[in-house]
Amino acid sequence: MKRFENRRVIITGAATGIGRATAQRLASEGAILGLVDVNQKDLETAAQAARDAGADVETFVVDVADEESVRGLAQQVSDVWGGIDALVNNAGVDNKGGKVHEYPTELFDKIIAVDLRGTFLMTKYLVPLMFDAGHGAIVNMASFSGLAADADRSGYNAAKGGVVNFTRATATDYGSRNIRANAVCPGTIETPLVDELVGSADAEGKSFREQQARVTPLERLGKPEEVAAVVAFLASDDSSFVTGETITVDGGVMAFTWPASALTG
């Protein structure tokens, strides 16, 4: 029996990158998928790929930062499935904004709204759909930027740091109902978001990738599929006694305090 056979899983930010890779991974393991994104075109492409892998898939075009939209999603999911077994809060945005005194308030608000408020709203309205089943798993996508700071990205740092501690709060609130909550903190992963921030792997983004590789013990960027594998573990019964935890998937970046030859060799 596959790990997710007959398991109903909601994934936000499912159209591209880590969300799409997670959908593909869970589809291959038998999940029934509800894929959520604001990007309808790419969402449908991701959904078809998951169907081709054998999954039963529903799609929902939803802005996770909008409470009424999320409330409506919860009702739709309840009407279609009656409940869920797992929730992957992956939707997120990022942008460089400058030093704190220069950082645009509207950018700070946008990132907090999607990355942190969206995680809160999805959990608030979707976790009750786990109650009748008597079990559930929530996986929140944080970042190594939620564990340490980046230059000129205080909004993202604040949002992802909030996701890490919100995950602990969720684990504490729902452990007695056999509902687990864990966070994943990816490092720099080859996704469309990285392309958007620094350029693709051509000359524009080549320097950034070379710099990242130098400070990463594994000497490369990560792949969405590598993060998806960790999400699948945390959403499955293989992690049945793991809750309130944060797992970093960053090739070893957070393992050292002084990079030594990684920067100079």
So which residues are the catalytic ones?
156
pLDDT of residue 211: 85
What is d(CA 203, CA 192) in angstroms, rounded to the nearest whole number? 16
Please provide the average confidence, as pLDDT, over all residues in the chain. 94
Looking at CATH, the fold of the domain delimited by 8-189+223-252 is given as Rossmann fold (3.40.50)
pLDDT of residue 195: 72
pTM for the model: 0.94
pLDDT of residue 194: 75
What count of Cα atoms within 13 Å lies in the side-chain half-sphere of residue 205? 16
Contacts of 37 (CB under 8 A, 6+ apart): 12, 13, 14, 15, 19, 43, 46, 61, 62, 91
The phi-psi region of residue 236 (left if phi > 0; otherwise alpha if psi is between -120 and 50; otherwise beta) is beta
What is d(CA 61, CA 12) in angstroms, rounded to the nearest whole number? 10
103-155 pLDDT, tens digit per residue, is 999 999 999 999 999 999 999 999 999 999 999 999 999 999 999 999 999 99
Give the domain ranges of the chain.
8-189+223-252
Given a cut of 70, the residues of the chain with pLDDT beneath it are: 197-204, 259-265
Give the largest Cα separation in the chain, rounded.
58
Residue that the structure tokens 């009702």 belong to: 75
pLDDT of residue 192: 77
